[in-house]
């Protein structure tokens, strides 16, 4: 994607050839959030049983190389105004990938150094899942939260570390997701 530009990055597609859902995973929208792009680098190698997995592990390569939140055109995650064309060439390229695969779910991975809505530790949104207002997204976020808490958290951890559903992303700010 964005070949022969500073924004050049890879899109990885795992297509099983078996009918099933399509998921798009984006990491590295902000370059100083390594957990997002490191997790996406791992996800791109996953085997899946059915459907299609599309992964853009390092969506903002300039910001990743610089270890900064922004690239030369600002905050990439704010370049996706609802109902409008994305406002930068990189945002449009990402959007073109998303729309070409018509995904059932899009996951935008970030990092946080804090805990969502808790009185312990620094402020942050590390274990929050923010659904959009698309039909079924809030329900899916709750199911994802329950799954993550059940299968991926050690029972010895405090409830502070449990995954939570965050606020709905309702289009008042132009986020990718």
The 10 Å CB-count burial string (b at 16+, else e) for 2-27 is eeeeebebebbebeeeeeeebbbbbb
- DSSP bridge partners of 71: 74
Residue 109 scores a pLDDT above 80: yes
Check: CB of residue 93 under 8 Å from CB of residue 84. no
Q: How many CA atoms lie within 13 A of 153 on its CB side?
A: 18
Every domain of the chain and the residues it spans: 1-111, 119-170
12-15 and 22-27: which strand pairing?
A: unpaired
Distance CA 38, CA 73 (A): 23
What pLDDT does 27 receive? 97
- Whether pTM > 0.85 for this model: the answer is no
pLDDT by residue (tens digit) across 68-93? 999 999 999 989 887 789 999 999 99
* Helix, coil or strand: residue 165: strand
Instruction: Let me know if domain 1-111 sits in CATH 3.40.630.10.
Output: yes
Give the helix/strand (H/E) hosting 141.
helix 137-152
Residue 116 scores a pLDDT above 80: no
pLDDT by residue (tens digit) across 15-51? 999 999 999 999 999 999 999 999 999 999 999 999 9
Query: At a CB cut-off of 8 Å and minimum separation 6, what does 96 contact?
Result: none
């Amino acid at each position: 994607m964005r070949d022969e530009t500073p924004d050049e990055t890879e899109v990885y597609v795992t297509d099983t050839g078996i009918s099933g859902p399509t998921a798009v995973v984006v990491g590295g929208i902000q370059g100083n959030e390594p957990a997002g792009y490191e997790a996406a680098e791992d996800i791109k190698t996953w085997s899946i049983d059915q459907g299609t997995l599309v992964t853009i592990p390092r969506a903002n390569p300039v910001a990743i190389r610089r270890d900064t939140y922004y690239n030369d055109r600002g905050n990439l995650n704010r370049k996706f105004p609802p109902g409008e064309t994305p406002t930068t060439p990189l945002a449009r390229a990402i959007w073109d990938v998303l729309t070409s695969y018509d995904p059932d779910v899009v996951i935008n991975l970030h990092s946080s150094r804090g805990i969502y809505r808790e009185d312990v530790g620094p402020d942050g949104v590390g274990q929050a899942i923010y659904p959009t207002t698309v039909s079924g997204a809030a329900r899916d976020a709750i199911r994802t939260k329950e799954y993550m808490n059940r299968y991926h958290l050690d029972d010895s951890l405090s409830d502070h570390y449990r995954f939570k559903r965050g606020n709905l992303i309702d289009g008042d700010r132009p986020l990718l997701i």
